[in-house]
Structure 1
């Protein structure tokens, strides 16, 4: 009996709209979480896989000592692909010429990720090689051909063996991005290393083992490997590398995570508002059922069934739409990225279903419990039960639920707290603002029959309801502004780091005598070039007279001096400049003055690493010569600009007498490559490092991330729209009553329409203004704490917020009310009944 009644009531309420909005809100929460989780999971996997080309694998095991083959054998048991690399420097001899070059010996499986590009001759077409050189053959980078004056097919002597020059090496996926490393690249088969007899005890050699496969298999393998690893071995992936690509990936993941959090907040607000409104609409039916003998248990069963039906229907609908949306989105992204996205796991499904159920139960349970307490006498006294309308318990439960959902979804307590607290601040400010508006409006000289007067009167009449609406509108606008501005700032920051005319090559090892001719040649050929920087290699030997710890030999089992002051452990590339580089920011102290004497400017991370401060004295050792310099400034360096940067810059008086070479970055266009090759032929001692492929990889990643961010933003906008719909829907019945009364009193249709429009315009404008202020403050904090961006205020959104808020809320609100106003008075009375 009760089930039949419950279904009939459910059908009627679904048609009236309250349950429809609840269902839509829960569905949107589910589809938001599912779509965002699946899309971000698949895009994240794709970007990570593509970015793995930077290390030619998914993971790398690195050591300065030979790695055991046991690791590779064990990796095979975990279905992982493997490859081996050996790095060393040696002399090459050919045609009475000799050249120091960097050799990379690779196994046949190299590369596991990315592409190896070669040419059959210096003037040939670029092609992709399936694997590295075969036994007995070597590949040279273009600069080696010029230095040795050889061509493809010639013979070269490497150590104790001779090799045939088979290919021109154009691009390696894992070429080291270090502008001070040699550009004389040689690729050799790993099986040929032994016959070169180059590696002897004490030789400077670097070893790498590459691994690729499923993430779960890599995790399982690392769990086995970790206890076996020695102190001098390092396991890393692309995100562990301090590079622009790693920063881009981390920022993208943070943004997508943040967008998911905000989507959940918006959907949760819509559910809470709609559930509360639905329960309020049921006060009279519940009182009637109790009057006719309905028991509390029966009423509880009816409405719990309603909740279960809404929850089940909404979750299924949300999952279906969410899966369809992510398929549409990923298909579009696959075409845009020209890449197949990996399949998502089961976690997004679990998180989405859990979110839907938690939202449905936690935001509805308190209004439902209040509903069961409605007294039967409400049939005669309509005010009975109104004290249940505002429930501190319901507000508290909703707030805790939102916080827990955000925390569980993000697994980041810090960012959750920032967003949650900023939202609470917004709510407090809006309550104060609403009191000012609703209280101040009564003192205005309002004229009867005026649309503005009617709008303000309507706002005053629904003071409490409008305060809630104002908060909801502001919350939606705040989160939308937050995401849009953050997205623009992130992409602008990426683009400023890597503009369209970013350098794509470096010139290294230019002597002072060559500098004028090289500079003149570049100007003549219109090749864009940055400043030339003098460089000298030196070591920080002491701090304030205290010697730093010296290097020890692990090979000879030397022990570190644990009490000695921490140092760098290697030589640094030092330079001297009169003016600070444009890509550097002085964050403490002062740059060198005109009379600077023995001063140093230190990059901020190096300051921490050396554990020094302004005013400390560093002792440098260059060759056998030692000198002191006082730290007078600290710099923040933008390492992603692809321009020469330095950890330590000295005042010109310190290094002026030391012999130096110069470096610079250049931008080589396609039609300038022949001219650039002519420069390298004319000056064979100059090294050129091509970073074109590196630039392309970063731009590709940024493009993919931007697409993903745009899609996520669209979903969050839908969430914001639903919050506005739920709020307008909540006041629809009361507005219909007002329209009937006003028409009965002879009000014209134009007056009523304008008053409604102005009311929403005022609410939206006020909500937009406060939302803009609060979101800007929250942005300032999040940019610094979560995205490592230079936080800044955005005064333009203080104007955009009220404008967009007013127009958006007024348009949406008026659109929803317009259908009601088109009905005649008789039709409105029927709807109310």
Structure 2
């Protein structure tokens, strides 16, 4: 019997529109989570797949020792593509000249991702190569060609073998972005390694195996491989590689995660408000059932089944809407990102259903319990049960639910705490503020018949309801401001790292004698060039007289000194300048003065790694010579910029007697390439590193990330608008009653319209002020802790927040109420009866 009543109640209220608010709220939650999760999942996979070209594979396995071949056999059996790389340095000989070069010996399947670009002559266009060079031939980059005075078709000696130069190596997808190494590059077929006889016992050789395939197969292979990996073998992806692109990917992932969390908050607010409002609307029907003899258990069963039907219907509606939206979004993003978005995993669907059910149950359980306690006498005394309108238990349960869902969704406690606590602070501030405003309004003494007086009276009359509305409005505005400003700061930071005139080439190995002629030549050709940095390789040997640990070789049976202080483990590129580089920021101490002698500035993370304090003495070793310098400052370095960066910068006096070479960054425009080529031919010992294509790839990836972020932001904005709509809809019935009473008392339509508009303006203005303040504080914390951005305040949003909040809430609220205001009194009476 009760089951039939529950089903009849569901369909009747569905037809009458009574379920519109709560169904829309639950469907909104499901749609938001599904859309955001699916879109961010698909976009993240697409960006990662395209960025994998930077390592020429989806994953790579690297080691200083030969890797077992059975690893690749296992991967191939699991449906993965594989390739091998071997790296070593050796001398090249040609035309009675010699040149030290970095050799990369590749299997024929290389590269698995990205493209190899070659040229058949210096002036020939670039073309994509299918695989590497054939056995018996090599590809050299332009620097090596110039150094050895070679042309395509000439022969070059590499170890004990002679090879034909069959092409000029123009671009490698996984070329290391390191301006201090890898500049003289040679690509060799791995079948020719043995005949070169270069690799001997004790030779310094690096090995890499590349893997590519479907992400689940790659992950399954890694799980199989993981127990077999030795300590000297490293499994990594593009995000594990220290580069500007990996930093951009990590930031974009954090932002998309933030967007998903904010979507959950907005959807949860919509469900909490609508569930509470819907249960309040059932107080009278429940009272009627009890007067007609309905038992409490029967009423409980009816409404629990009713809730299950509402939840199931809303879930289906939300899943259908979310699927359609993410499908349309995927097609749009794929067209604009010029990449096929992979299908989303099942996780977004499971997350959407789970979050929808949890929100519907947790936000409805306390209002339902209150509903079951409604006394039968409410049919006579309509105020009975009003004391249940505000429940501390309901608020606490809702807050716990939101926090738990955010934590489960993100898996990151820090980001969850920042967003949750900032939202809780906003709620607390607004609760106190609403009490002051709504209580103080009675003392304003505004004249009767005035629109402002009527607006404030309306706010006072619905003090509790307006406090809830105010909090909901402010939460939506705060989250939108937070996301918009963070998105702009991220993109501005990326663009500042890669401006239109960013350097796209580096000149390395410039001698003291060549420095001035090279500078004059570049100036004469109007080629922009940065300052020339002197460089020399050196090792940190001791700190305050305490020796530091050095890198050990297991192959040579060396043992690590366990008692030695933690060290760098490798030589560093040292420089000395009197002025701090523009892309460095002083984080402690004082920069060098003209009187500085024997001082060093240390990069902040390196100082933390070595546990260096201001005033410490650092001992350096260059060759057989050692010297000391006093730490007088720490620097924060933006490693994402395409500029020379250094861990250690010494005062000019320290290395004045050491021979050094110079490096410089240059901007080579399209019409200046021939002049630049002529410079390299004139000075063949200078190495040029072309990063123009690398810069283009980074810009392309950043544009794709920006597009993805913009789309996700649009979804969150829509969700915020729907939250506001659900809030206004919750008060429509009460507003209809007010309009009827005011018209009966003779109030003009214009007076009522203006009062309604002013009411929403005041609510939006107060919500915007508090939202701007809280969001700016949260932004400051998030930028510094999660995005490695310079934390700063944004005074502009203190103006934009209140103005946009007032305008947005006023326009949206008034538009929704306009239909009610335009109805005649008899029509409104029929509507509310």
Question: How far does residue 18 in structure 1 lie from its aligned partner after superposition?
Answer: 4.3
Given the alignment of the two structures, is residue 105 of structure 1 paired with residue 112 of structure 2, yes or no?
no
1:347 is matched with 347
Q: Find the aligned partners of 1:669 and 1:21 in 2 and give their Cα distance.
A: 59
Question: How far does residue 7 in structure 1 lie from its aligned partner after superposition?
Answer: 4.3
Question: How far does residue 16 in structure 1 lie from its aligned partner after superposition?
Answer: 5.0
Question: How far does residue 15 in structure 1 lie from its aligned partner after superposition?
Answer: 4.9
Q: Find the aligned partners of 1:246 and 1:297 in 2 and give their Cα distance.
A: 59
Cα deviations by residue, 1:237-277 (Å, 9 ceiling, x for unpaired): 11111221111111111111111111111111111111111
Q: Find the aligned partners of 1:268 and 1:46 in 2 and give their Cα distance.
A: 29
Question: How far does residue 548 in structure 1 lie from its aligned partner after superposition?
Answer: 2.0
* CA contact 1:287–1:379 (8 Å) conserved in 2: yes
1:281-296 equivalent positions in 2, closer than 5 A: 281-296=281-296
* CA contact 1:18–1:274 (8 Å) conserved in 2: no
* CA contact 2:176–2:182 (8 Å) conserved in 1: no
Question: How far does residue 445 in structure 1 lie from its aligned partner after superposition?
Answer: 2.7
2:586 is matched with 586
* CA contact 2:35–2:322 (8 Å) conserved in 1: yes
Q: Find the aligned partners of 2:234 and 2:737 in 1 and give their Cα distance.
A: 73
- The secondary structure found in structure 2 opposite 1:698 is helix
Cα deviations by residue, 1:461-513 (Å, 9 ceiling, x for unpaired): 11111111111111111111111111111111111112222111110011111
1:633 is matched with 633
1:683 is matched with 683
- The secondary structure found in structure 2 opposite 1:169 is strand
* CA contact 1:598–1:651 (8 Å) conserved in 2: yes
2:36 is matched with 36
Q: Find the aligned partners of 1:8 and 1:551 in 2 and give their Cα distance.
A: 77
Q: Find the aligned partners of 2:498 and 2:591 in 1 and give their Cα distance.
A: 26
Q: Find the aligned partners of 1:415 and 1:359 in 2 and give their Cα distance.
A: 21
Task: Specify whether residues 9 and 217 from structure 1 end up closer, same or farther in structure 2 by C-alpha distance, changes over 3 A only.
Answer: closer
* CA contact 1:498–1:640 (8 Å) conserved in 2: no
2:623 is matched with 623
Q: Find the aligned partners of 1:552 and 1:318 in 2 and give their Cα distance.
A: 59
Structure 1 gaps, min length 5: none
- The secondary structure found in structure 1 opposite 2:467 is helix
2:536 is matched with 536
Q: Find the aligned partners of 2:23 and 2:725 in 1 and give their Cα distance.
A: 13
Q: Find the aligned partners of 1:417 and 1:30 in 2 and give their Cα distance.
A: 23
2:564 is matched with 564
2:273 is matched with 273
1:92-491 equivalent positions in 2, closer than 5 A: 92-491=92-491
Q: Find the aligned partners of 1:554 and 1:4 in 2 and give their Cα distance.
A: 77
* CA contact 1:732–1:817 (8 Å) conserved in 2: yes
* CA contact 1:18–1:729 (8 Å) conserved in 2: no
Q: Find the aligned partners of 1:830 and 1:245 in 2 and give their Cα distance.
A: 63
- The secondary structure found in structure 1 opposite 2:446 is coil
Aligned length: 833
Question: How far does residue 733 in structure 1 lie from its aligned partner after superposition?
Answer: 1.3
- The secondary structure found in structure 1 opposite 2:587 is strand
Question: How far does residue 309 in structure 1 lie from its aligned partner after superposition?
Answer: 2.1
2:86 is matched with 86
Structure 2 gaps, min length 5: none
Q: Find the aligned partners of 1:190 and 1:39 in 2 and give their Cα distance.
A: 41
Question: How far does residue 9 in structure 1 lie from its aligned partner after superposition?
Answer: 3.5
Question: How far does residue 3 in structure 1 lie from its aligned partner after superposition?
Answer: 4.8
- Report runs of 4+ in structure 1 exceeding 6 Å deviation: none
* CA contact 1:182–1:687 (8 Å) conserved in 2: no
Q: Which moves more between the two structures, 671-680 or 225-234? A: 225-234
1:497 is matched with 497
* CA contact 1:102–1:184 (8 Å) conserved in 2: yes
- The secondary structure found in structure 2 opposite 1:242 is coil
Question: How far does residue 66 in structure 1 lie from its aligned partner after superposition?
Answer: 1.6
* CA contact 1:599–1:651 (8 Å) conserved in 2: yes
Return the TM-score normalized by structure 1: 0.98
Q: Find the aligned partners of 1:435 and 1:386 in 2 and give their Cα distance.
A: 19
Q: What is the alpha-carbon root mean square deviation over aligned residues? A: 1.4
Q: Find the aligned partners of 1:814 and 1:234 in 2 and give their Cα distance.
A: 61
Q: Find the aligned partners of 2:125 and 2:596 in 1 and give their Cα distance.
A: 53
Cα deviations by residue, 1:126-178 (Å, 9 ceiling, x for unpaired): 11111001100100111111111111111111111011111111100110111
1:597-746 equivalent positions in 2, closer than 5 A: 597-746=597-746
Cα deviations by residue, 1:41-88 (Å, 9 ceiling, x for unpaired): 111111111111111111111111222222222222222211111111
Cα deviations by residue, 1:586-641 (Å, 9 ceiling, x for unpaired): 10000011100100000112112222111111111222222110000000001111
Q: Find the aligned partners of 1:570 and 1:279 in 2 and give their Cα distance.
A: 68
* CA contact 1:530–1:643 (8 Å) conserved in 2: no
Question: How far does residue 31 in structure 1 lie from its aligned partner after superposition?
Answer: 1.1
Cα deviations by residue, 1:721-758 (Å, 9 ceiling, x for unpaired): 12111111111111111111111111111110000000
Q: Find the aligned partners of 2:461 and 2:338 in 1 and give their Cα distance.
A: 57
Question: How far does residue 308 in structure 1 lie from its aligned partner after superposition?
Answer: 1.9
Q: Find the aligned partners of 2:87 and 2:360 in 1 and give their Cα distance.
A: 59
Q: Find the aligned partners of 1:346 and 1:37 in 2 and give their Cα distance.
A: 10
Q: Find the aligned partners of 1:15 and 1:593 in 2 and give their Cα distance.
A: 80
* CA contact 1:85–1:105 (8 Å) conserved in 2: yes
- The secondary structure found in structure 2 opposite 1:652 is coil
Cα deviations by residue, 1:201-253 (Å, 9 ceiling, x for unpaired): 22221111111222222223223323322222222111111221111111111
- The secondary structure found in structure 2 opposite 1:644 is coil
1:506 is matched with 506
Return the TM-score normalized by structure 2: 0.98
* CA contact 2:550–2:570 (8 Å) conserved in 1: no
Q: Find the aligned partners of 2:746 and 2:547 in 1 and give their Cα distance.
A: 94
1:828 is matched with 828
Q: Find the aligned partners of 2:12 and 2:725 in 1 and give their Cα distance.
A: 20
Q: Find the aligned partners of 1:615 and 1:653 in 2 and give their Cα distance.
A: 18
Q: Find the aligned partners of 1:13 and 1:550 in 2 and give their Cα distance.
A: 76
Q: Find the aligned partners of 2:190 and 2:275 in 1 and give their Cα distance.
A: 68
* CA contact 2:10–2:310 (8 Å) conserved in 1: no
1:795 is matched with 795
Q: Find the aligned partners of 1:640 and 1:467 in 2 and give their Cα distance.
A: 46
Q: Find the aligned partners of 2:10 and 2:225 in 1 and give their Cα distance.
A: 59
- The secondary structure found in structure 1 opposite 2:318 is helix
Cα deviations by residue, 1:628-685 (Å, 9 ceiling, x for unpaired): 1000000000111111111100001111121111101111112211111111111101
Q: Which moves more between the two structures, 679-688 or 4-13? A: 4-13
Q: Find the aligned partners of 1:801 and 1:37 in 2 and give their Cα distance.
A: 28
- The secondary structure found in structure 2 opposite 1:639 is coil
Question: How far does residue 119 in structure 1 lie from its aligned partner after superposition?
Answer: 1.1
Question: How far does residue 295 in structure 1 lie from its aligned partner after superposition?
Answer: 2.8
Cα deviations by residue, 1:66-115 (Å, 9 ceiling, x for unpaired): 22222222222222211111111111111222211111000111011111
- The secondary structure found in structure 1 opposite 2:640 is helix
2:526 is matched with 526
Question: How far does residue 4 in structure 1 lie from its aligned partner after superposition?
Answer: 5.0
* CA contact 2:153–2:165 (8 Å) conserved in 1: yes
Question: How far does residue 12 in structure 1 lie from its aligned partner after superposition?
Answer: 4.4
